[in-house]
Each structure stands twice: as C-alpha cells, then as structure tokens.
C-alpha cells in the first residue's frame, strides 16, 4: 500500500483548498492509499513540513493550495529524492497548468498512480527558489490588486479585474538587463523571467518554455499603449505565441539573468510579492522530482516505480512536531 503526506494551506482559494482536500482524500481512500494531512499554520510553514518530510525519507508529498503553497514545498524538497504531487487548490494554479495537471482534484489525485515522475528545472533567485517565474513591473501590481480583491472576488475574475485596474495606471521603469554575459538597457512596464509556459492564472507568456531545458525564458514588455496591450493580452491566453512578435515585446533565453533598476522595485515569485530589485536569477537543472501526466513530453518513470511503499512502513513515519 502506498503513502503520501498531504501539505495543505487551509487559507488557499478562500478556503477552497479544504474542499479540494476532502475530494482528494476520497479518491485516495478508494484507491487504497494511506495518507497523512499536514495543515500549514503560517507563511513559511509548508517549507518546514516539506523539508522535514524529505529528511524523514518520505518518497512523496502532495501540495494542496495555490502557487505560493507549491513554491514553499519546492523550497523544502528541491534537490532531494522526495517527489512532489500537485493537487490544485488556489487561484492561479500555474504550476499545475504548466505541467498539464488537471484542475479537477480527483483527476489530479489519480496521477499519484497513473502519472509519471519527471525531473524539473527549478529557478533560484539569490536564496529563494521558484517553480514558475520571478517578475517585476505590472505583474507585481496585478498580484497586489488580486490579493486585495480575494475577499470579494475569486478565481480568474479576480485576476482579470486586477489586470484592468493595473493597466489604467500603467507605469514604466528604466532597467539594465544582463543576460548571461550580455547587457542591454530597456524601458519596460513589465518583465517575466519564466521557467514554465504559464503564469498569472493561465497566461502563457512563453508557450514553448521547457521545464527541463536548463534555460530561462525572458519576456520584456516595452512602451506600449494601454489599448494595444489590452488587445494583445488575449493572445497570451490562447498560447499561440503571437504576442512575442509584437514590436513592443522582446524575448530572450538565457541561463542566468540580472535586472538592475535605479529605484528598488518589488519582485514577485510564483504569485508571492517578496523583496526588491536587483533580480539575480538562474536555474538548478532538473532539481525537482514532480508528478506529471504521462502525456507530458519530458522523459520520466511511472510513479509506481519509485514510490511503492508498504503499509507498515507508512504507518511508522514519524509525526511532524506541531501537527
């Protein structure tokens, strides 16, 4: 019998994560899985739980919450033998979207025995890891507005409303961008440093981004009229990549990047606003073991090959302090 520790942010998705947990537990029970639930108590707690899980030798943890919760679990297990399963329960759910993980909790949970484990690149910005992206400029403003709206509006509607509010007050910044060993100057309203195709609740800023290629995809948006930006944004949702050919958009791939600005600008990691510029980002190639659908193009092995544990072994796992 297999075992998974489920790390849950009960506040994610305005409490939706707890409903997702109930639905996932039902599927796991029907499949004969054993599980232990660990509810996070405060920001950063998921990092501790995930790290302790890896140190205890658990082969698998599942994260239920938004991208911030997934980010914290990545902080705790990246570079270890512990694999991550993602069961979406937040607002944007971009880690799940980028890997092709179903948003329905039951289907996402079924990947624990129907999916495969792939080795995914992890971004690192100074001492902080990210799965999807780090960004500056209007993406940060969108997240800030979205966080303030979550009490009254939820899901994609909150994000779309925040995008409109941000575009009405669009600001530009002078920056110096160093891509590997090449430096450029730019005036920009927003920069996306991406490891994954999706960010911002399904916006595919770099639809061909590969989480196993060891490269960061960088999208720089220069001076553009508000209406032009409004008409271009739908192209980002379709995943066509047409927006990358817009004259105001520059696209780069690199192994490392630094972004300097005369004034400190807030940074956003996987949906969480933390710290200020400069940005110094690179990748840890294939540092994270993550459960993905078998349809994902990256090579992997069946989940069962690496995660089969006996019921007796699962029952002897030490309970984490405070849980």
Tokens of residue 1, six digits = 């019998």
Residue 156 is predicted with a pLDDT of 61
Q: Which residue has the higher pLDDT, 236 or 281?
A: 281
Structure tokens given for 280: 């110094």
- Summarised one tens digit per residue, pLDDT across range 120-159 is 999 999 989 999 999 999 888 888 877 776 655 555 666 6
Q: Cα 281 from chain centroid?
A: 15
CATH architecture group of domain 130-283: Sandwich (2.60)
Fold exhibited by the domain 3-122+286-315: Rossmann fold (3.40.50)
Asked if residues 139 and 200 have their Cβ atoms less than 8 Å apart, the reply is yes
Query: CATH 3.40.50.10330: which residues of the chain?
Result: 3-122+286-315
Instruction: List every span in the chain annotated with CATH 2.60.200.40.
Output: 130-283
Could you tell me the two tokens for 239? 């995943």
**Beta carbons of 278 and 266 less than 8 angstroms apart:** no
Angle at 56 between CA 89 and CA 8, to 5 degrees: 15
- 291: Cβ contacts below 8 Å, ≥ 6 apart: 60, 83, 84, 85, 86, 101, 111, 112, 115, 116, 117, 303
Confidence category of residue 315, pLDDT binned at 50, 70, 90: very low
53-65 burial: b if 16+ Cβ within 10 Å, else e? bbeeebbbbbbbb
Sign (positive or negative) of CA dihedral 319, 320, 321, 323 = negative
> Which has the higher per-residue pLDDT, 308 or 319?
308
Condensed to tens digits (0 to 9), the pLDDT of residues 24-76 reads 999 999 999 999 999 999 999 999 999 999 999 999 999 999 999 999 999 99
Is pTM beyond 0.75? Reply is: yes
Each residue of 196-224: pLDDT tens digit?
998 877 889 999 999 999 999 999 999 99
Mean pLDDT across the chain: 89
d(CA 73, CA 125): 16
Calculate the alpha carbon distances from 69 to 6, 130, 134, 203, 280 in Å: 12, 11, 15, 19, 22
Three-state SS for the chain is CCEEEEEECCCHHHHHHHHHHHHHHHHHHHCCCEEEEEECCCCCHHHHHHHHHHHCCCCEEEEEECHHHHHHHHHHHCCCCCEEEEEECCCCCHHHHHHCCCCCHHHHHHHHHHCEEEEEEEEEECCEEECCEEEEEHHHHHHHHHHHHCCCCCHHHHHHHHHHHHHCCCCCEEEEEEECCEEEEEEECEEEEECCCCECCCECCCCCCCCCCCCEEEEEECCCCHHHHHHHHHHHHHCCCHHHHCCCEEEEEECEEEEECCCCCEEEECCEEEEECCEEEEEEEEEEEEEECCCCCCCCEEHHHHHCCCHHHHHCCCCCCCC
Which of residues 257 and 305 earns the better pLDDT score? 257
Burial of 245 (0-12, 13-18, 19+ CB in 10 A): exposed
Rounded average pLDDT over 273-302? 96
58 contacts 82 by C-beta, under 8 angstroms: yes
Q: What backbone phi and psi angles, to 5 degrees, belong to 48?
A: -60, -45
């Amino acid at each position: 019998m297999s075992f998974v520790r489920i790390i849950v942010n009960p506040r994610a998705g305005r409490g939706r994560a707890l409903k997702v947990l109930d639905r996932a537990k039902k599927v796991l029970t029907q499949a004969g899985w054993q599980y232990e639930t660990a509810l996070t108590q405060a920001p950063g707690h998921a990092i501790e739980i995930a790290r302790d899980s890896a140190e205890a030798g658990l082969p698998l943890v599942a994260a239920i919450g938004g991208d911030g919760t997934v980010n914290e679990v990545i902080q705790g297990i990246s570079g270890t033998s512990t694999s991550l399963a993602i069961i979406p329960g937040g607002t944007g759910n971009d880690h799940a979207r980028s890997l092709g993980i179903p948003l329905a909790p039951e289907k996402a949970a079924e990947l624990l025995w129907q999916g495969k484990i792939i080795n995914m690149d992890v971004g690192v910005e100074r001492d902080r890891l990210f799965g999807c992206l780090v960004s500056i400029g209007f993406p940060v403003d969108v997240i800030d507005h979205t966080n303030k709206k979550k009490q009254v509006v939820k899901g994609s509607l909150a994000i779309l409303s925040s995008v409109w509010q941000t575009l009405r007050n669009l600001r530009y910044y002078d920056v110096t961008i160093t891509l590997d060993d090449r430096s450029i100057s730019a005036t920009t309203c927003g920069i996306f440093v991406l490891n994954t195709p999706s960010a911002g609740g399904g916006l595919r800023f770099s639809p061909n981004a590969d989480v196993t290629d060891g490269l960061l995809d960088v999208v720089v948006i220069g001076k553009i009229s508000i209406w032009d930006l409004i008409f271009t944004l739908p192209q980002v949702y379709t995943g066509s990549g047409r927006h990358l050919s817009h004259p105001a958009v520059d696209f780069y791939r690199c192994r490392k990047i630094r972004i300097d600005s005369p004034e400190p600008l807030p940074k956003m990691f996987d949906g969480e606003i933390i710290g200020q510029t400069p940005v110094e980002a690179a990748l840890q190639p294939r540092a994270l073991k993550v459960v993905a659908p078998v349809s994902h193009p990256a090579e992997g092995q069946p989940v069962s090959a690496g995660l089969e544990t006996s019921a007796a072994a699962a029952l002897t796992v030490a309970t984490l302090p405070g849980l």
